[in-house]
Amino acid sequence: MRRRLELSNEVAAALAGSQDAILRALEGHVECDVYLRGNVLTLDGADEAVEAAATVVHELGELVEQGHEVAPGTIAAVTGALDAHRAPAEVLDDVVWRHRSTKVAPKTVNQKAYVDSIRRNTITFAIGPAGTGKTFLAVALAAAALSRREVNRIILTRPAVEAGERLGFLPGDLMAKIDPYLRPLFDALHDMLEPERVASHLERGVIEVAPLAFMRGRTLNDSFIILDEAQNTTPEQMKMILTRLGFGSRMVITGDITQIDLPRDQRSGLVTVAEILEGLDGVDFVRFGGEDVVRHRLVQRIVEAYAEHQERSAPDLRPAERRRA
């Protein structure tokens, strides 16, 4: 089947992109050949594939006309939303944080579910591979909550598993020693705010970035708390951070149970907590997969390859969450 679609100048220019990058991305997500000549887009392939591709092109055209900038990643967002029977605009229009040239919005259906879960629940767990936006979206929502004065401070924390072994060999004081382990959180903050504002917030305690051990004995009121790399917590540490939750606070806990750095005989607190808190009111678990990776496409293939290798070589060692899925 061959079908020709006549596009507006604006949509045709957006789909052409730089060196046909958008068209090549489109062809990679549909099961037919795609050609653009002038304002006419030709789809060539099996009937069902052509119809599906025409739907994707229609949705992309609507996004362009609504002012969206179409990038290669937009194609994946649109096809993913359509596969989940969701309107792509419903996912991509949910702008979480906007600051000057920075606009943060979900790029996949699971990311949209994650954003909605954080807004709706007191505690949200995000479990999934690297590159799925778990930490980035959480920091964006925290910045938005702080700007709307829904919270008085942001607390970013993560376990410094490696630092516990090598602190004495690193130069500087304690904060200098743990800085490498907290650097990803600082990077996310600097993506949301100017460096001067980040420095000011850190100095006044409005934003606090500290290792998990610093949370013991505290009650965190009116705070947006993000625990990153939670797969490296012990069950006792996980219980400790959860019980720090105070009035007017929200907590987001992120981690990847395929990247646990704890000793082999030590169970991860992130694995254990799913067995304890699943189904508890006010607590939600959002699980990401390889399809949610929004970094370079090769990252998605790497994640999938590792998952396949793990299932082939040691199916009995798969995490509890995946065995139930």
Residue 234 has pLDDT above 80, yes or no: yes
pLDDT band at 242 (very low <50, low <70, confident <90, very high): very high
pLDDT band at 137 (very low <50, low <70, confident <90, very high): very high
**Residue 150 vs residue 68, higher pLDDT:** 150
Average pLDDT estimate for 279-286:
94
CA angle 281, 283, 287 (to 5 degrees): 130
**14: nearest Cα among 75, 55, 92:** 75
**Residue 76 vs residue 95, higher pLDDT:** 95
* Orientation of helix 21-29 relative to helix 72-83, angle to 10°: 30
pLDDT of amino acid 50: 92
Residue 195 has pLDDT above 90, yes or no: no
2-92 adopts what CATH topology?
Ribosomal Protein S8; Chain: A, domain 1 (3.30.1370)
Lowest mean pLDDT among 182-191, 225-234, 277-286: 182-191
Tokens (6 digits) for 194: 């100017």
Where along the chain do its domains lie?
2-92, 97-324
Residue 244 has pLDDT above 70, yes or no: yes
Please state, for a pLDDT cut of 90, what percent of the chain lies above it. 42
Average pLDDT estimate for 223-237:
95
Tokens (6 digits) for 85: 């029977």
Residue 323 has pLDDT above 50, yes or no: no
Q: Which residues lie closer than 8 Å to 180 by C-beta, 6 or more apart?
A: 163, 170
CA dihedral 119, 124, 130, 133 (to 10 degrees): 0
pLDDT of amino acid 41: 92
DSSP labels, 156-173: EEE--TTHHHHGGGSSSS
pLDDT of amino acid 162: 54
Average pLDDT estimate for 183-188:
83
Average pLDDT estimate for 182-192:
84
Residue 1 has pLDDT above 90, yes or no: no
3-class secondary-structure state, position 7:
coil
Q: How many residues does the chain have?
A: 325
Residue 317 has pLDDT above 50, yes or no: no
Beta strand spans in the chain (E): 2-6, 33-37, 40-44, 97-99, 102-104, 123-127, 153-158, 207-211, 223-227, 250-255, 283-287
pLDDT of amino acid 164: 41
Average pLDDT estimate for 11-38:
85
pLDDT band at 272 (very low <50, low <70, confident <90, very high): very high
CB 134 within 8 A of CB 128: yes
CATH superfamily entry for domain 97-324: P-loop containing nucleotide triphosphate hydrolases (3.40.50.300)
Residue 250 has pLDDT above 90, yes or no: yes
pLDDT band at 40 (very low <50, low <70, confident <90, very high): very high
pLDDT in tens, 77-117: 888 888 888 888 888 888 899 887 778 888 888 999 999 99
pLDDT of amino acid 170: 54
pLDDT of amino acid 256: 93
pLDDT of amino acid 238: 96
Average pLDDT estimate for 207-228:
92
Residue 315 has pLDDT above 90, yes or no: no
pLDDT of amino acid 165: 45
pTM of the entire predicted model: 0.78
Whole-number Å distance between alpha carbons of 158 and 213: 9
pLDDT of amino acid 29: 84
Specify the residue for token string 């909605």: 116
Residue 173 has pLDDT above 80, yes or no: no
Please state, for a pLDDT cut of 70, what percent of the chain lies above it. 87
**Residue 304 vs residue 7, higher pLDDT:** 7
**253: nearest Cα among 153, 118, 147, 81:** 118
